[in-house]
């Protein structure tokens, strides 16, 4: 794995920290992309920070071109950017909330995929892993906008897998249940966290999907529901 370049979007998030460290431990050079990221976030000689958003194609392309200028390639894209909003029925959900879920969970992926794929196709190889949600396949009441956006992400990643299998690129999406992060613990202080999914488990799965051992796995939506399944 020496010499491989991994880009992690949302690298400073509750999951992103685990994924970045896991890839560094697996001897990747990791480029973390987040709006307020810096080298001090990860004290590692093989970590590089790119302070950027990916809320437009232009922004995503600028961030990716920075990586290409520094390293010449991108072997792995771990796309972790996303967000959650819930608590209202579909009938009560306003346009702003619905659009925000699609901006965070679908459009961000659309932008970074369009920026990264041409470079992977020219290289004739690449690994793409995105974070979906259990709600994409098992929607529940009062989370309609979130569930719909994550379902759209699954479809987008599976389409990318089909369109790029000729170029040696794999694309997969992980569908976790509730992830055991500090933000989720703060939002749900009375929840039984023993049923939640460990960020380290997801990070380990991402490292495996990025490896040569997973070269035959593409277009998969992988349930990672935790012990409460």
DSSP assigned state of 179: B
Q: Note the Cα 28 to chain centre separation in Å.
A: 17
pLDDT digits (tens, 9 = 90+) for 145-195: 999 999 999 999 999 999 999 999 999 999 998 888 888 888 889 888 888
- Asked whether residue 99 is assigned to any structural domain, the reply reads yes
Nearest-angstrom CA–CA distance, 44 and 140: 41
pLDDT digits (tens, 9 = 90+) for 8-20: 999 999 999 999 9
Across 35-61, average pLDDT: 96
Judged by DSSP in three states, 104 sits in helix
- Strand-pairing partners, residue 41, are none
Domain that holds residue 30: 5-224
- Asked whether residue 229 is assigned to any structural domain, the reply reads no
pLDDT of residue 184: 87
Helix, strand, coil shares, percent, the chain, to 5 = 50, 20, 35
pLDDT of residue 1: 42
**What CATH number does residue 217 fall under?**
3.40.50.720
Angle, helices 108-123 vs 57-71, to 10°: value is: 30
Judged by DSSP in three states, 4 sits in coil
Nearest-angstrom CA–CA distance, 161 and 127: 10
- Asked whether residue 17 is assigned to any structural domain, the reply reads yes
- Name the burial class of residue 220, with classes exposed (0-12), middle (13-18) and buried (19+) by CB atoms within 10 angstroms of its CB: middle
- Reading the block at residue 85, the tokens are 């909003």
pLDDT digits (tens, 9 = 90+) for 95-152: 999 999 999 999 999 999 999 999 999 999 999 999 999 999 999 999 999 999 999 9
Structural domains counted in the chain: 1
User: CA-based angle 44:47:51, to the nearest 5?
Assistant: 130
């Amino acid at each position: 794995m020496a010499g491989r370049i991994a880009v992690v979007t949302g690298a400073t998030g509750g999951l992103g920290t685990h994924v970045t460290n896991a890839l560094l431990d697996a001897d990747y050079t990791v480029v973390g992309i987040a709006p307020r990221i810096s080298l001090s976030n990860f004290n590692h000689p093989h970590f590089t920070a790119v302070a950027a958003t990916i809320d437009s194609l232009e922004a995503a392309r600028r961030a990716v071109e920075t990586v290409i200028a520094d390293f010449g390639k991108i072997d792995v894209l771990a796309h972790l950017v996303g967000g959650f909003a819930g608590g209202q029925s579909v009938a009560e959900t306003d346009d702003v909330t619905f659009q925000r879920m699609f901006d965070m969970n679908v459009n961000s992926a659309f932008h970074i995929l369009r920026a990264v794929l041409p470079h992977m196709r020219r290289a004739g190889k690449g690994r793409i892993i995105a974070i979906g949600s259990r709600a994409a396949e098992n929607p529940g009441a009062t989370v309609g906008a979130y569930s719909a956006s994550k379902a759209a992400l699954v479809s987008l990643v599976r389409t990318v897998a089909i369109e790029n299998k000729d170029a040696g690129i794999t694309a997969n999406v992980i569908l976790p249940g509730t992830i055991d992060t500090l933000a989720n613990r703060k939002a749900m202080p009375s929840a039984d966290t023993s049923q939640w999914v460990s960020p380290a488990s997801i990070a380990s799965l991402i490292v495996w999907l990025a490896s040569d051992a997973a070269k035959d796995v593409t277009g998969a939506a992988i349930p990672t529901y935790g012990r409460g399944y």
